Structures are given as C-alpha cells and as structure tokens.
C-alpha cells in the first residue's frame, strides 16, 4: 500500500533534496512552500520516480496554514504516514536591532507552524501502520551563536516541543525524531554565514540520507535526536 508523506519547505535547499529521497524510497507526497515555480520544479524532479506528488502553496506565517495543509494532504491522498517539518527561516541580527515583527515571523515559521501541523496531523497518523514525525531543528536548538538570538530561540522552542510530543504520542505508536544539523550547503547558510567556505558545509543529501535511515530502520529502540555537525578544522558545528 502507498505511503504518504507531508513535507514542508520543499521548494529548495534541504527540503528539495528530502523530496527526491522520499520519491526514491517510494513515498507519495504533498510538498509545501510559497514559491510555486520552485515547487513545480521539485515536483517534476520527484515525478521521475513512480510516485504521486501534489503541491500546495502555503505561507506558514498565517495561523490557519497548518489546518489547511493537513486538510489538503487528506483530500488528495486520503491518508498520512509521515510528517516532515523542514521549512524554516533564519536571520542574523543583534538583539538590540531585533523588532517584534522579526521575532514573530521567525517564531511563526520555525516553532508555531510545526507545532500545529503536528497537532492537526496526529488523528490521521494514528491510523497509519508506521507513523513518523521528523522535525528539522538546528545546532542552534541547543547552542547559542552571536546574532542568531531569534533563530536560536525558535529552534530551542521546536526542540522542546518535539521532546514533549514524542512522549505524548508514544502510546499511539507515533515515532518522533529531531534532526539538528550544523551548517548545510543551502541558500540559508550562504546568507547567514558567508564566512564559511562552502567546501566545509554538510551537503543537503546527507540530511536526506538521515531521513531515509529514520523512515526505513527497524528495531525496538527509539531515536529521539540526531545531531550532525560540520567537520571543519576550527569550529565543530
């Protein structure tokens, strides 16, 4: 029987690579982002595999987006097995220059949206034979870097939520994982950390491989958290 995944932030970067990996291992999927052209590009790449991919333009800044996203995945596919909260936004600003608007924006996308996507998804995931939620955190969900106060706080919030969620849905058989990468070679890190040589960055495919590992592994143990860091000479993050 077909397995269905919901993936946010699939229009570029890590999310696009995850979409391709999901297609390779046979998942139908709803992919979400704001940029229609880039979503269509991802769709055309994943549909080279024998799977179905539907797109949804949704802005996670809007409070009703999580409900609309879950309604759409159920309308199109009738079921849901895997949720991957990958969409995220970052900023590099000192605290003294950070406005309420910036704080609200970063928290809405990085913390509020995954929270309510999971909440709306749980009733459908409970019906799946192998339900899995994967939230994409960051090294800043447990570290603090100068000028990344809002980004780090929002990812700490996501990590805290993910820990509680894992316990609350354990009896429903839903596995919940947090992946916390260091610098990955995407537009986001090229804007946030132009100082890092791109040769020293993690490749998006490495995150997609971790997703495949979590989706395909068997066993009695539960993996709560995977932390993957850059392997560079000076800064180990």
Ligand X SMILES: NC(=O)c1ccc[n+]([C@@H]2O[C@H](COP(=O)([O-])OP(=O)(O)OC[C@H]3O[C@@H](n4cnc5c(N)ncnc54)[C@H](OP(=O)(O)O)[C@@H]3O)[C@@H](O)[C@H]2O)c1
Q: Which of residues 199-228 bind ligand X (CB under 6 A)?
A: none
d(CA 219, CA 44): 34
d(CA 230, CA 237): 5
Encoding tokens for residue 206?
């490495």
Longest dimension (CA), the chain: 53
Beta bridge partner(s), residue 31: 7, 55
Dihedral sign for Cα atoms in the order 162, 168, 171, 174: negative
Question: Residue 26 to residues 14, 22, 47, 171: CA-CA distances in angstroms?
Answer: 19, 6, 11, 27
Identify which range of 12-20, 45-53, 169-177, 213-221 contacts ligand X by CB under 6 A.
12-20
> Rule CB under 6 A: is residue 35 a binding residue for ligand X?
yes
Find the binder of ligand X among 6, 13, 156, 211 (CB under 6 A): 13
Find the binder of ligand X among 11, 21, 148, 149 (CB under 6 A): 11
d(CA 196, CA 100): 29
> Rule CB under 6 A: is residue 38 a binding residue for ligand X?
yes
> Rule CB under 6 A: is residue 156 a binding residue for ligand X?
no
The nearer residue to ligand X, 14 or 73, going by C-beta atoms, is: 14
Which residues, other chains included, contact 18 with Cβ-Cβ below 8 Å and sequence gap of 6+?
Answer: 7, 10, 84, 86, 204, 207, 208, 211
> Rule CB under 6 A: is residue 114 a binding residue for ligand X?
no
The size of the interface with ligand X (CB under 6 A), counted in residues, is 29
Identify which range of 125-133, 161-169, 185-193, 210-218 contacts ligand X by CB under 6 A.
185-193
> Rule CB under 6 A: is residue 73 a binding residue for ligand X?
no
Identify which range of 3-11, 115-123, 142-150, 217-225 contacts ligand X by CB under 6 A.
3-11
Q: Are 113 and 157 in contact (CB under 8 A)?
A: no
Find the binder of ligand X among 5, 165, 181, 211 (CB under 6 A): 181
The nearer residue to ligand X, 163 or 230, going by C-beta atoms, is: 230
d(CA 148, CA 155): 11
> Rule CB under 6 A: is residue 88 a binding residue for ligand X?
yes
> Rule CB under 6 A: is residue 61 a binding residue for ligand X?
yes
Contact positions toward ligand X, by CB under 6 A?
A: 9-15, 33-35, 38, 59-61, 86-90, 109, 136, 138, 181, 183-184, 186-189
């Amino acid at each position: 029987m077909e397995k269905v995944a919901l993936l946010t932030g699939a229009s570029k970067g890590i999310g696009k690579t995850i979409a391709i990996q999901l297609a390779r291992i046979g998942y139908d999927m709803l992919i979400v982002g704001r940029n229609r052209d880039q979503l269509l590009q991802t769709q055309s790449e994943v549909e080279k595999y024998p799977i179905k991919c539907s797109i949804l333009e949704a802005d996670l800044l809007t409070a009703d987006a999580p409900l609309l996203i879950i309604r759409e995945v159920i309308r199109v596919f009738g079921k849901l097995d895997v949720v991957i909260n990958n969409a995220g936004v970052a900023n590099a600003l000192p605290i003294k220059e950070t406005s309420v608007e910036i704080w609200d924006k970063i928290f809405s996308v990085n913390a509020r949206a995954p929270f309510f996507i999971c909440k709306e998804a749980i009733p459908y995931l409970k019906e799946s034979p192998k339900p899995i939620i994967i939230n994409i955190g960051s090294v800043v969900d447990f570290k603090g870097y100068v000028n990344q106060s809002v980004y780090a706080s929002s990812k700490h919030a996501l990590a805290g939520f993910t820990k509680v969620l894992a316990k609350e849905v354990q009896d429903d058989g839903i596995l919940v994982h947090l992946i916390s990468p260091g610098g990955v070679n995407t537009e986001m890190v090229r804007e946030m950390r132009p100082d890092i040589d791109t040769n020293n960055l993690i490749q998006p495919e490495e995150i997609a491989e971790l997703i495949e590992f979590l989706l395909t592994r068997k066993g009695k143990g539960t993996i709560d958290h995977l932390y993957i860091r850059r392997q560079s000479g000076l800064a180990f993050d």
